[in-house]
Amino acid sequence: MALIPRERVEEFRVERIAELQDFRRAGIKVIGYFSYYAPVEIIRVAGAIPVRLMRGGYDAEVRGERYLRSDACPVCLSTMGNFDMARSERAADSLYALVDAIVGVNTCDLLHRLPESIHRYFNLPVFELYMPRTSEPLPHRLTEFKRQLEWLAAELAAFTGQEFERERLTPEVRSSNHVRGLLRTLDDRRKHDGPALTESDVLNLVTLATILDGKRFAQFAADVELKAGSRPRSSNRSRLMLGGSEVAEQDRWLVETIEQKADIVTDLLSEGTRWFADDCNTEGDAMDNLTNFYFTRSPCMTRRPNDEVYANAQRRVEEFRVHGLVYKTLLYCDPWNFEAVRLRKEIGIPMLHIDGNYSTENREQLRTRVEAFLENL
Amino acid sequence: MFKVGIDVGSINTKVAIRDTDTGETVAIHVRPTGYKPRATAHAAYEACLQEAEIERSRAGRLVATGYARHAVDFAHASITEIKAAALGIRHWHPECRAIIDIGGQDSKVVVLDESGRVSDFKMNDRCAAGTGNFLAVLAEKLQVPLERFGPLALRSRKPVAISSLCVVMAESEILSLVAADTPVEDIIAGLHEALARRIANMMAPLDVRPQVVFTGGVAQNKGMQLAMESALGQRIHIAKMPLFAAAVGAALS
């Protein structure tokens, strides 16, 4: 059973939206982002508040077809749909209604097009970083990436009208490291039998970490740590890894369905445990540190070479004593979908691959596939 | 003592009762599932007991399977139709290493290891393409009863190529063929071949070894068996009582 009920996440969201509305009235800008390659420390030092937009939802996905082709990935379609709905009375209080600009990172072709579309249809300023698809940190690539981070800092400072105080970068990095450290401590509790946290909890924690103020999140994470510590530990259920594309906030049906029958003890998701896997160096030049950190974060499947993703998966299978992998890709999310064949060959444990969008059309069939997979573990 | 298996499928609900002393299946029953799977399962169970003249108190353990297995709240346990089909087919076909199951709502390929345990499976579950529904809808369009599909396909001299596996698109394609006065048996044989290709593609990444057993409602169609053999390039065995394999498997579990 999840430690963090969905209702609690929604309460935090409502509180945060009210706070952000106050900040905006005081003239402070709110910047939306999608990818974990977006350098939130730079956004903060530029005097703005970063919030991650990953709500998802089937209604939003369908609404997004007004702007993008229907074979765009559900993340991009639902993002457009959520922006559209935020401009109607139906969702006037959503985070999508509050952002003043977008920081995009072109991790895949559609995430390259998405900020352009947001700018075109919703008239929001967009600042886009070009992340090299090659993940080897060769000097000329790092130099170019650093140039882009410097460009982003200057552009955002001009946008907010505030001076970019570089000396504030390292304290911001420490703050991010602190949050990631809290999440790693909590995640480690899943190595034991009868894991103290569910995958739903971890995904909710990542969601809150990307929406809330750092101090408020740290306070909440400490409460969760206390609750997790007092949980009885015994379980003879199968221990699973969940892998695949982004799991949006309103796309949790599969996770919750699996967790009725088995324990998901770790993940190989686009943005699950990878979000807090690494820390940024705090010694030396802060912009150099951020360049190295964001360039070399555990790579998304879009980048090559991505052997590190496989090495990380193997480590986690051993450390968390995983019996099987459920790999859920989003329809038309080709980078993650493409890797399913290699993963099946290399992961060394049974794997179930599911590909779908946010619709509810074949849920009972999916339940059968999940249950049949668990029966055979 | 007896054990009961109930398979609540999308089209039919099937019941099988096994005598645990003799190992024989002593009663079977089938009826359309309709839109109230729980009530149908209950009625089918009672009817099967009555037909076999078995008192309910002697019926013993009851295991549900099929897409609406969770609706059978009077069952002692439930298993997926994948495991149930494996148990049922292997019971009758001990050499079986792969099962092709084409039902009303989905199609599945189940690979078994030497001991009969499920080692891998694939399901087509996104739409009617590749399922029994594909043939059922098009049978209506062609105004040919589904049970005549098999015999008519066997009479075909020149099956036409049907490129669409989407039911809606295939309907349009068939309209063009009908307008061109194409013999209906050639259209039906073409539909079987299109469905067989789809199943063969689904099987391609799996380690499929003989013996391959074909089950599910569509396995009763001889034309489909031949199309599958042609697409796979190997002999396909038709399951004993294809409609009841999962129900028997549930009773065996």
- Residue A114's pLDDT band (boundaries 50, 70, 90)? very high
Do B36 and B113 lie in one domain? The reply is: no
- Dihedral angle at the C-alpha atoms of A17, A23, A26, A30, nearest 10 degrees? -100
Three-state DSSP at A305 gives coil
User: Would residue B53 be called left, alpha or beta, if left means φ above 0 and alpha means ψ between -120 and 50 degrees?
Assistant: left
Do B68 and B154 lie in one domain? The reply is: no
In this predicted structure, the answer to whether residue B167 has a pLDDT above a threshold of 80 is no
The helix/strand count (H/E) of chain B reads as 8, 10
Say if B123 is an interface residue toward chain A (CB within 8 Å): yes
Three-state DSSP at A214 gives helix
- Contact between residue B37 and residue B13 where contact means Cβ atoms under 8 Å apart: yes
Domain membership of residue B219 (yes or no) is: yes
Do A186 and A105 lie in one domain? The reply is: no
Domain membership of residue A1 (yes or no) is: no
Say if B72 is an interface residue toward chain A (CB within 8 Å): no
DSSP state of A257: H
Domain membership of residue B86 (yes or no) is: no
Span A18-25, average pLDDT:
95
Residues of B in contact with A362 (CB under 8 A): 125-126
Do B170 and B225 lie in one domain? The reply is: yes
pLDDT tens-digit map of B171-190:
888 889 989 999 999 999 99
pLDDT at B205: 86
C-alpha distances (whole Å) from B102 to each of A342, B39, B50, B122, B239 are 29, 25, 30, 12, 12
pLDDT at B162: 86
Do A294 and A351 lie in one domain? The reply is: yes
- Pick the last residue of a domain from A141, A163, A185: A163
Q: What is the 3-state secondary structure (H, E, C) of B46-83?
A: HHHHHHHCCCHHHCCCEEEECCCHHHCCCCCEECCHHH
Domain membership of residue B246 (yes or no) is: no
Residues of A in contact with B80 (CB under 8 A): 368, 371-372, 375
Closest residue in chain A to residue B107, using alpha carbons only: A365
Cβ of A376 within 8 Å of Cβ of B83? The answer is yes
Do B120 and B70 lie in one domain? The reply is: no
Span A282-298, average pLDDT:
95
Do A155 and A238 lie in one domain? The reply is: no
User: Would residue B75 be called left, alpha or beta, if left means φ above 0 and alpha means ψ between -120 and 50 degrees?
Assistant: beta
Do A141 and A278 lie in one domain? The reply is: no
- Pick the last residue of a domain from B21, B52, B78: B78
pLDDT tens-digit map of A307-329:
989 999 999 999 999 999 999 99
- Residue B166's pLDDT band (boundaries 50, 70, 90)? confident
Domain membership of residue B226 (yes or no) is: yes
- Rounded to a whole number, what is the distance in Å from the CA of A13 to chain B's nearest CA? 34
Per the structure, the complete domain to which residue A49 belongs is given by: 6-163
pLDDT at B43: 96
pLDDT at A90: 62
pLDDT at A298: 81
Span A91-119, average pLDDT:
90
Number of domains in chain A: 2
Domain membership of residue B58 (yes or no) is: yes
Three-state DSSP at A239 gives strand
Do A231 and A361 lie in one domain? The reply is: yes
pLDDT at A93: 66
pLDDT at B85: 95
More confident residue, B103 or B63: B63
pLDDT at A62: 93
The domain that holds A67 is classified in CATH as 3.40.50.11890
Largest interatomic CA distance in chain A = 60
pLDDT at A241: 98
Cβ of A368 within 8 Å of Cβ of B82? The answer is yes
pLDDT tens-digit map of B220-234:
899 999 999 999 999
pLDDT at A131: 87
Say if A72 is an interface residue toward chain B (CB within 8 Å): no
Domain membership of residue A246 (yes or no) is: yes
Do B46 and B101 lie in one domain? The reply is: no
Q: Give the count of beta carbons closer than 10 Å to the beta carbon of residue A18.
A: 10
Cβ of A376 within 8 Å of Cβ of B119? The answer is yes
d(CA B54, CA A162): 84
In this predicted structure, the answer to whether residue B1 has a pLDDT above a threshold of 80 is yes
In this predicted structure, the answer to whether residue A108 has a pLDDT above a threshold of 60 is yes
Say if B121 is an interface residue toward chain A (CB within 8 Å): yes
Do A84 and A47 lie in one domain? The reply is: yes
With 0-12 CB in 10 A as exposed, 13-18 as middle and 19+ as buried, what is B55? Answer: exposed
Residues of A in contact with B118 (CB under 8 A): 372, 375-376
Do A145 and A210 lie in one domain? The reply is: no
Backbone φ and ψ for A267, nearest 5 degrees, come out as: -145, 165
Cis peptide before A21 (omega within 30 of 0): no
Span A329-348, average pLDDT:
93
- Pick the last residue of a domain from B45, B78, B111: B78
pLDDT at A89: 62
Domain membership of residue A73 (yes or no) is: yes
In this predicted structure, the answer to whether residue B126 has a pLDDT above a threshold of 70 is no
- What order do you get walking across the sheet with B2-8 strand by strand? B25-32, B12-19, B2-8, B62-65, B77-78
Span A329-345, average pLDDT:
93
Do A195 and A99 lie in one domain? The reply is: no
DSSP state of B10: S
Cα dihedral A248, A252, A253, A258 sign: positive
Say if A353 is an interface residue toward chain B (CB within 8 Å): no
- Residue B29's pLDDT band (boundaries 50, 70, 90)? very high
Do B70 and B152 lie in one domain? The reply is: no
Residue position matching structure tokens 């950190």: A293
Do A17 and A131 lie in one domain? The reply is: yes
Residues contacting B198, CB < 8 A, separation 6+: B107, B124, B129, B130, B165
Domain membership of residue B228 (yes or no) is: yes
Residues of B in contact with A340 (CB under 8 A): none
- Pick the last residue of a domain from A144, A163, A182: A163
pLDDT at B125: 63
Cross-strand partners of B3: B18
HSE-up of residue B125 (Cα within 13 Å, Cβ side): 22
Do B62 and B109 lie in one domain? The reply is: no
- Pick the last residue of a domain from B53, B78, B103: B78
Do A15 and A107 lie in one domain? The reply is: yes
More confident residue, A270 or A88: A270
As a whole number, the mean pLDDT across chain B is 91
- Rounded to a whole number, what is the distance in Å from the CA of A241 to chain B's nearest CA? 18
d(CA A150, CA A148): 5
Span B33-46, average pLDDT:
95
Joined together, the tokens standing for residue A258 give 């699996």
Domain membership of residue B98 (yes or no) is: yes
In this predicted structure, the answer to whether residue A273 has a pLDDT above a threshold of 70 is yes
Helix axis angle, A214-229 relative to A199-209, nearest 10°? 160
**Least CB-CB distance to A362: which of B68, B121, B126?**
B126
As a whole number, the mean pLDDT across chain A is 93
Per the structure, the complete domain to which residue B122 belongs is given by: 94-241
pLDDT tens-digit map of A174-225:
999 999 999 999 999 999 888 889 999 999 999 999 999 999 999 999 999 8
Do B52 and B103 lie in one domain? The reply is: no
- Pick the last residue of a domain from A163, A189, A214: A163
In single-letter form, the type of residue at position B1 comes to: M
**Least CB-CB distance to A375: which of B67, B83, B105?**
B83
- ipTM for the complex? 0.83
Q: Work out the percent of chain B whose per-residue pLDDT is above 90.
A: 70
In this predicted structure, the answer to whether residue A22 has a pLDDT above a threshold of 90 is yes
Question: 0.80 exceeded by the pTM?
Answer: yes
pLDDT tens-digit map of A146-157:
999 999 999 999
d(CA A206, CA A194): 21
Number of domains in chain B: 2
Do A173 and A200 lie in one domain? The reply is: yes
Domain membership of residue B84 (yes or no) is: no
Do B118 and B189 lie in one domain? The reply is: yes
d(CA A263, CA A269): 16
Q: Which element (helix H / strand E) includes A30?
A: strand A30-33
Do A154 and A176 lie in one domain? The reply is: no
The domain that holds A303 is classified in CATH as 3.40.50.11900
- Residue A230's pLDDT band (boundaries 50, 70, 90)? confident
Nearest Cα residue to B85 out of B190, B223, B219 = B219
The domain that holds B47 is classified in CATH as 3.30.420.40
Residue position matching structure tokens 């929001």: A124
